[in-house]
């Protein structure tokens, strides 16, 4: 098979992204335009604003992805685009543009599931580093602002197959990070902020009741046993704030930080009392423990030797450290994408499209966005 250059386009949430990937194994460019500044004043992603920003950014982002890769439109063999899951209006911007481009250039179009993309973020980087020795199936934890899913992933000829063995029943883990940060007056998005602050607090200061996050029942293969639930811990944090009368301090912090531009870690620390830092550290400890415990229990029960941890929350340092330590003890190999490829990007979409290109699994011109597209 000669080298294949795929242009990937991703617009499912608040990042407009384009990338060129060679044969599913080398990222030639990876351009991500983040809309964080647009949504920050609202404390979360505003769908209408996301679509508008995608419309503005998509053409320059795609052009930059091509020029960074040293390619022209004509050099591209196929165009891959995220079909879902995500915000319907946001997805449509990427899909409409990809369709127009494919039509004008007379190139095939490939529809990619965003969740499959997160799994291929790990695969493309491992291949790029020359790692072709992974054992399959791999157990992939896809953990982001919209998803907390466990998949068994393996390839049959050119087709990748996924079995979903666990999912969140309510909030995704990243959503819990974002909501807890918001209620503590720490701003948006919460994950990276909590990650930085947690190391400054005592993670054992606040004990969240075990029932807030259900523990796996080892050995039994019951339906839903590897499901997650994060709304309980979010409510427990809120209750803690109320019973410890933290609200006036939170309001003070919000007002104080609203005056500052480009907040540094020192700014956050200056505005956080010990109790807040302890609460943040204890929250992160509880969430990361739960993610690691359930994933490891599922890996043992399903007898897999390879773990993937991917999606925005996979950028979390405590989560990475815990996975590395626990996997080493259990004799499992664990792989994470680089930080650039952990959060939303289009290189993962172009990489996931490559096996579909080989199998000539192309989308027809009538395909559309699927906000709740499932995988497996
Ligand atoms: O994969 P992603 O960019 O978008 C979705 O598909 O959702 O993930 C974004 C999520 C947000 O909830 C953000 O707070 C979280 O990932 N996140 C983190 C960290 N970096 C991003 N959560 C915890 N620790 C981090 N370092
Ligand atoms: Zn994502």
SS3 at position 220: coil
Whole-number Å distance, alpha carbon 331 to ligand 2 midpoint, is 28
- Whether the CB-CB separation of 78 and 124 falls below 8 Å is answered with no
- pTM score, two decimals? 0.95
For 9-25, the pLDDT digits (tens) are: 999 999 999 999 999 99
For 119-138, the pLDDT digits (tens) are: 999 999 999 999 999 999 99
Separation CA 195–CA 172 (nearest Å): 16
Between helices 173-183 and 231-243, what is the axis angle to 10°? Answer: 20
Start-to-end C-alpha separation, the chain: 28
115 pLDDT more than 70: yes
Which of 112, 115, 119, 144 should be mutated for ligand 1, with most atoms under 8 A from CB? 144
Separation CA 271–CA 282 (nearest Å): 18
For 303-332, the pLDDT digits (tens) are: 999 999 999 999 999 999 999 999 999 999
Q: Which atom of ligand 1 is nearest to the CA of 311?
A: 1
- Whether the CB-CB separation of 309 and 319 falls below 8 Å is answered with yes
Ligand 1 surroundings by CB, under 6 angstroms: 13, 144-146, 174, 177-178, 189-192, 195, 311-313, 315-316, 343-344
SS3 at position 194: helix
SS3 at position 84: strand
Spell out the domains of the chain, with CATH numbers in brackets: 5-133+340-358 (3.30.420.40), 168-304 (3.30.420.40)
- Whether the CB-CB separation of 278 and 202 falls below 8 Å is answered with yes
Q: What's the pLDDT at 44?
A: 87
Own/partner contacts of 258-266, CB < 8 Å, gap of 24 or more, are 263/187, 265/196, 265/197
- Whether the CB-CB separation of 347 and 61 falls below 8 Å is answered with no
Q: Which ligand is nearest to the CA of 287?
A: 1
277 pLDDT more than 60: yes
Tell the residue nearest (CA) to atom 7 of ligand 1: 145
SS3 at position 114: helix
Between helices 317-330 and 190-198, what is the axis angle to 10°? Answer: 70
Whole-number Å distance, alpha carbon 255 to ligand 2 midpoint, is 31
Separation CA 187–CA 193 (nearest Å): 8
Q: What's the pLDDT at 261?
A: 83
Beta strands in the chain (DSSP E): 5-10, 15-22, 26-34, 78-84, 109-113, 138-143, 148-156, 159-167, 306-310, 333-335
72 pLDDT more than 70: yes
Residue count of the chain, please give it: 376
338: nearest Cα among 176, 124, 150, 140: 124
Whole-number Å distance, alpha carbon 275 to ligand 1 midpoint, is 24
DSSP 263-290: --HHHHHHT--HHHHHHHHHHHHHHHHH
């Amino acid at each position: 098979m000669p080298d294949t250059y795929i242009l990937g386009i991703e617009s499912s949430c608040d990042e407009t992204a384009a990338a060129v990937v060679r044969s599913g194994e080398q990222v030639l460019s990876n351009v991500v335009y983040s809309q964080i500044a647009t949504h920050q004043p609202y404390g979360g992603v505003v769908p209408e604003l996301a679509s508008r920003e995608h419309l503005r950014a998509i053409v320059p982002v795609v052009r930059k992805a091509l020029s960074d890769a040293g390619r022209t439109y004509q050099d591209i063999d196929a165009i891959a685009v995220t079909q879902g899951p995500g915000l319907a209006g946001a997805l449509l911007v990427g899909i409409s543009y990809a369709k127009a481009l494919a039509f004008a250039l007379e190139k095939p179009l490939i529809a990619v599931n965003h969740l499959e993309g997160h799994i291929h973020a790990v695969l493309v980087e491992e291949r790029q580093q020359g790692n072709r020795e992974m054992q399959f199936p791999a157990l992939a934890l896809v953990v982001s602002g919209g998803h907390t899913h466990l998949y068994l992933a393996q390839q049959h000829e050119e087709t990748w197959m996924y079995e979903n063995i666990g999912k969140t029943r309510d909030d995704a883990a990243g959503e819990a990070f974002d909501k807890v940060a918001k209620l503590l007056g720490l701003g948006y998005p919460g994950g990276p902020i909590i990650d930085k602050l947690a190391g400054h607090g005592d993670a054992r200061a606040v004990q969240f009741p075990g029932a807030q996050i259900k523990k796996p029942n080892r050995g039994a293969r019951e339906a839903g046993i590897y499901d997650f639930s994060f709304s309980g811990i979010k409510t427990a944090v809120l209750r803690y704030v109320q019973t410890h009368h933290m609200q006036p301090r939170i309001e003070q912090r919000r007002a104080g930080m609203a005056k500052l531009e480009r907040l540094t870690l020192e700014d956050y620390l200056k505005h956080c009392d010990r109790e807040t830092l302890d609460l943040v550290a204890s929250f992160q400890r509880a969430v990361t423990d739960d993610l690691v415990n359930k994933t490891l229990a599922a890996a043992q029960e399903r007898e897999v030797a390879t773990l993937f941890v991917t999606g925005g929350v996979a950028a979390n340092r405590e989560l990475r450290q815990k996975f590395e330590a626990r996997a080493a003890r259990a004799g499992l190999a664990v792989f994470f994408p680089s930080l650039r490829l952990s959060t939303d990007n289009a290189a993962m979409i172009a990489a996931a499209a490559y096996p579909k290109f080989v199998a000539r699994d192309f989308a027809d011109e009538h395909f559309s966005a699927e906000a709740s597209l499932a995988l497996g």
